[in-house]
Structure 1
Amino acid sequence: MNVEQQIEQINASLTKVSDQIKAHAERAEKEIKAHAQLSDETKASVDKLLVEQGDLKAQLRAAEQVLAKLQNGGGGPERVKSLGEIVVEADAIKNFNTNTQGAVSVKVGSIHAAITSGGASAGDLIVPQRVAGIIAPPDQRLFLRDLLNWGRTTSNSIEYVREEGFTNNADVVAENPSNPKPESDITFELDQAPVATIAHWIRASKQVLQDVAMLEAYINGRLTYGLKLKEEAQLLKGSGVGLNINGIYTQATAYANPGVVVQNETMIDRLRIALLQVELAEYAADGIVLSPIDWAQIELTKTTDNAYLFATPRGLAVPGLWGRPVVATKAMDADDFLVGAFRMGAQGWDREDANITVSNQDRDNFVKNMVTILCEERVGLTVFRPEAFVKGDFDGVQPTPPASSTPPASS
Structure 2
Amino acid sequence: MEQVTAELKRIGDEVKKSGELALKEAKSAGEVSAETKEAVDKLLVKQGELQARLDDAEKKLLRRGSNDPEGAKSVGSEFVESEGYKAYVAEGNYKKGFSHQVKAVVTITSDPAVAGDTIAPDRLPGIQTPPQRRLTVRDLLTPGRTSSNLIQYVKETGFQNMAATVAEGAKKPQSDLTFDLLAQAVVKIAHFVKASTEILADAPMMQSYIDGRLRYGLAFKEEAQLLNGSGVGNNLNGIYTQATAYVAPITIANPTRIDVLRLALLQAELAEYPSTGIVLHPSDWAAIELTKDTTGAYIFANPQGIAQPALWGRPVVATQAMTVDTFLTGAFKLGAQIFDRQQASVMVATENEDDFVKNIVTILIEERLGLAVYRPEAFVKGDITPA
Question: How does the TM-score come out when normalised to structure 1?
Answer: 0.60
CA drift of 1:155 comes to 0.6
Question: How big is each residue's C-alpha offset from its partner over 1:269-295, in whole Å with a ceiling of 9 and x where there is no partner?
Answer: 111111111111111111111112211
CA drift of 1:309 comes to 4.0
Question: How big is each residue's C-alpha offset from its partner over 1:149-169, in whole Å with a ceiling of 9 and x where there is no partner?
Answer: 111111111111233344555
Residues 58-69 of structure 1 mapped to structure 2, 5 A cutoff: none
Structure 1 residue ranges without an equivalent (≥5): 1-126, 398-411
- Report the equivalent of 2:156: 163
CA drift of 1:185 comes to 4.5
Give the partner amino acid of 2:133. Q
Q: Tell me whether 1:237 sits opposite 2:257 in the alignment.
A: no
CA drift of 1:182 comes to 5.3
Residue 257 of structure 2 contacts residue 385 of structure 2 at CA under 8 Å; is this kept in 1? Answer: no
* Of 133, 136, 147, the match for 2:129: 136
Question: How big is each residue's C-alpha offset from its partner over 1:185-213, in whole Å with a ceiling of 9 and x where there is no partner?
Answer: 54322111000100111111212212222
Taking a change above 3 Å as real, the CA distance of residues 195 and 181 of structure 1, as seen in their structure-2 partners, is same
Residue 301 of structure 1 contacts residue 310 of structure 1 at CA under 8 Å; is this kept in 2? Answer: yes
Q: Secondary structure at the match of 2:193?
A: strand
CA drift of 1:310 comes to 4.0
- Report the equivalent of 2:58: none
CA distance in 1, matches of 2:207, 2:353: 22
- Report the equivalent of 1:382: 372
Give the partner amino acid of 1:187. T
Q: How many correspondences in the alignment?
A: 267
- Report the equivalent of 2:263: 273
Q: Tell me whether 1:224 sits opposite 2:215 in the alignment.
A: yes
Give the partner amino acid of 2:210. Y
- Report the equivalent of 1:249: 240
Taking a change above 3 Å as real, the CA distance of residues 369 and 269 of structure 1, as seen in their structure-2 partners, is same
CA distance in 2, matches of 1:322, 1:169: 36
* Of 351, 358, 363, the match for 1:361: 351
Give the partner amino acid of 1:263. A
Q: Tell me whether 1:292 sits opposite 2:282 in the alignment.
A: yes
**Percent pairwise identity:** 58
- Report the equivalent of 2:196: 205
Greater C-alpha radius of gyration: 2
Q: Tell me whether 1:154 sits opposite 2:133 in the alignment.
A: no
Q: Secondary structure at the match of 2:278?
A: strand
CA distance in 2, matches of 1:363, 1:256: 60
CA drift of 1:313 comes to 4.2
CA distance in 1, matches of 2:338, 2:328: 17
Residue 260 of structure 2 contacts residue 386 of structure 2 at CA under 8 Å; is this kept in 1? Answer: no
Taking a change above 3 Å as real, the CA distance of residues 188 and 371 of structure 1, as seen in their structure-2 partners, is same
- Report the equivalent of 1:214: 206
Q: Which has the higher contact order (CA 8 A, sep 6+)?
A: 1
Give the partner amino acid of 2:265. L
Give the partner amino acid of 2:207. L
Residue 237 of structure 2 contacts residue 371 of structure 2 at CA under 8 Å; is this kept in 1? Answer: yes
CA drift of 1:178 comes to 3.9
- Report the equivalent of 1:32: none
Q: Secondary structure at the match of 2:216?
A: helix
Taking a change above 3 Å as real, the CA distance of residues 392 and 182 of structure 1, as seen in their structure-2 partners, is farther
Which stretch shifts more, 368-377 or 357-366? 357-366
CA distance in 2, matches of 1:271, 1:350: 31
Which stretch shifts more, 376-385 or 297-306? 297-306
Taking a change above 3 Å as real, the CA distance of residues 318 and 362 of structure 1, as seen in their structure-2 partners, is farther
CA drift of 1:302 comes to 2.9
CA distance in 2, matches of 1:362, 1:296: 51
Residue 169 of structure 1 contacts residue 184 of structure 1 at CA under 8 Å; is this kept in 2? Answer: yes
Q: Secondary structure at the match of 2:346?
A: strand
CA distance in 2, matches of 1:152, 1:387: 24
- Report the equivalent of 2:56: none
Structure 2 residue ranges without an equivalent (≥5): 1-119
CA distance in 2, matches of 1:363, 1:165: 59
Residue 311 of structure 1 contacts residue 317 of structure 1 at CA under 8 Å; is this kept in 2? Answer: no
- Report the equivalent of 2:178: 187
Give the partner amino acid of 2:223. E
CA drift of 1:253 comes to 1.1
Q: Secondary structure at the match of 1:337?
A: strand
CA distance in 2, matches of 1:374, 1:156: 21
Residue 291 of structure 2 contacts residue 298 of structure 2 at CA under 8 Å; is this kept in 1? Answer: yes
CA drift of 1:314 comes to 4.2
